[in-house]
Amino acid sequence: MPIFRFAPSPNGELHLGHAFSALLNQALASVAGGTLLVRLEDIDLARCSPVLEARLLDDLAWLGIVSAHPPRRQSEHFADYAAALEALQSEGLVYPAFMTRGDVREHAQNCEHASGIAYPRDPDGAYLYPGEEKRLSRSEQQAMVDDGQPFAWRLDMQAALSRTGPVQFCELSGDEGTVEVQAEPHLWGDVILARRDVPTSYHLSVVVDDALQSISHVVRGADLMPSTSVHRVLQSLLGLPEPLYHHHRLILDADGGKLSKSRGSTSLAALRAAGLTPLDIARMVGLQDIQLSASAEIEHPER
Ligand code: GLU
């Protein structure tokens, strides 16, 4: 049975973009004769809170979003992500990375200064991690860890890709059915898989949960499409199944900018307090008479 998920992070108020994603997931699940699961991506304990979670669930209930099971709260499953990290560690595919974000910036800017060439950045605009630690032996890395120096676990992307070979994903696109997209994980370099303060990462926990919850269809915003490349690599390394993907359009603000929790975009709670109904919200995001193609029913094409 098709299983969809809506996976917000309770670190701020839900806005129209979340409403669109949740309503679209629910509609596609219904068309496909499947179910929808809500997942709370609350690994960042410093930014997520029970109060924000309660508000989020209240907004979703008001909107008419129904999770087939009680929401999975990622913060209650750190052991699952630790097990996946351990599997990658035992394969020698991760390494302890000691440079801070500030160290990386300084290194990149020094290189740019010396060479006059732009230092490579990932799809989010962050400088790629230099990865000098990979030149150290395992015991040298371990000595630094034992020394108590703060570090994050990073994926050795080159080693990972030599294991997986090229990776692809299947994108459901309204008009063309399913399109095979060549993933570009190298653009991300050595992504963080776990930190000292947060013992996992978005990339690691999302692939573990999509597999544990047997998610068949991942429907999320187009802003996350570049991340899918990393997810496919992790799925391949960890032997996890490959869901179908659909990266939907983003709801933009009046100035054409992306809605965001941090920019205080109009929240569902504020719209609700102003007297709008769930149908008004559906209208505002263009889903009032959702024309759903049968795309959600498409099976994985043979590769
Ligand atoms: N938790 C992510 C967010 O709120 C969504 C992750 C996903 O759908 O894969 O942006």
Q: Tell whether 3 and 46 lie within a shared domain.
A: yes
Pocket of ligand 1 contains residue 9 by CB under 6 Å = yes
Whole domain around residue 1: which residue ranges?
1-76+266-303
Q: Tally the domains of the chain.
A: 2
Q: Tell whether 2 and 71 lie within a shared domain.
A: yes
- Looking at ligand 1, which atom is closest to the CA of residue 227? 9
- pLDDT digits 0-9 by tens, 3-53: 999 999 999 999 999 999 999 999 999 999 999 999 999 999 999 999 999
Distance CA 284, CA 174 (A): 20
Query: What integer pLDDT is reported at residue 263 of this predicted model?
Result: 60
Q: Which two tokens stand for residue 192?
A: 């963080």
Pocket of ligand 1 contains residue 230 by CB under 6 Å = no
Pocket of ligand 1 contains residue 206 by CB under 6 Å = yes
303 band by pLDDT with thresholds 50, 70 and 90: low
Q: Tell whether 164 and 208 lie within a shared domain.
A: yes
Pocket of ligand 1 contains residue 37 by CB under 6 Å = no
Pocket of ligand 1 contains residue 220 by CB under 6 Å = yes
Choosing from 6, 9, 261 the residue with most ligand 1 atoms within 8 A of its CB, the one to mutate for a pocket test is 9
**Position 256: which residue type?**
G
Query: What integer pLDDT is reported at residue 197 of this predicted model?
Result: 86
Distance CA 4, CA 6 (A): 7
What is the residue-averaged pLDDT of the chain?
A: 92
Q: Which of 7, 4, 1, 3 is nearest to 205 (CA)?
A: 7
Q: Tell whether 113 and 180 lie within a shared domain.
A: yes
Q: What is the CATH number of the domain that holds 71?
A: 3.40.50.620
99 or 291, greater pLDDT? 99
* DSSP summary character for residue 48: -
Q: Tell whether 142 and 286 lie within a shared domain.
A: no
pTM for the model: 0.93
193 band by pLDDT with thresholds 50, 70 and 90: very high
Q: Which two tokens stand for residue 141?
A: 């890395």
Q: Which of 113, 43, 48 is nearest to 85 (CA)?
A: 43
Task: Evaluate if residue 116 carries a pLDDT over 90.
Answer: yes
Cβ neighbourhood burial of 231 (10 Å; 0-12, 13-18, 19+): buried
Q: Tell whether 274 and 146 lie within a shared domain.
A: no
Q: For a pLDDT cut of 90, what percent of the chain falls above it?
A: 87
- Name the packing angle between helices 225-238 and 202-212 (round to 10°): 60
Q: What is the CATH number of the domain that holds 101?
A: 3.90.800
Q: Which residue matches tokens 């696109």?
A: 173
Cβ neighbourhood burial of 38 (10 Å; 0-12, 13-18, 19+): buried
- pLDDT digits 0-9 by tens, 125-139: 999 999 999 999 999
Query: What integer pLDDT is reported at residue 177 of this predicted model?
Result: 87
Residue nearest to atom 3 of ligand 1 (CA): 8
Pocket of ligand 1 contains residue 10 by CB under 6 Å = no
CB atoms within 10 A of CB 55: 18
Task: Evaluate if residue 302 carries a pLDDT over 70.
Answer: no
Q: Tell whether 193 and 106 lie within a shared domain.
A: yes
Is residue 201 within 8 Å of residue 194, measured between CB atoms?
A: yes
What are 96's strand-pairing partners? 153
Pocket of ligand 1 contains residue 271 by CB under 6 Å = no
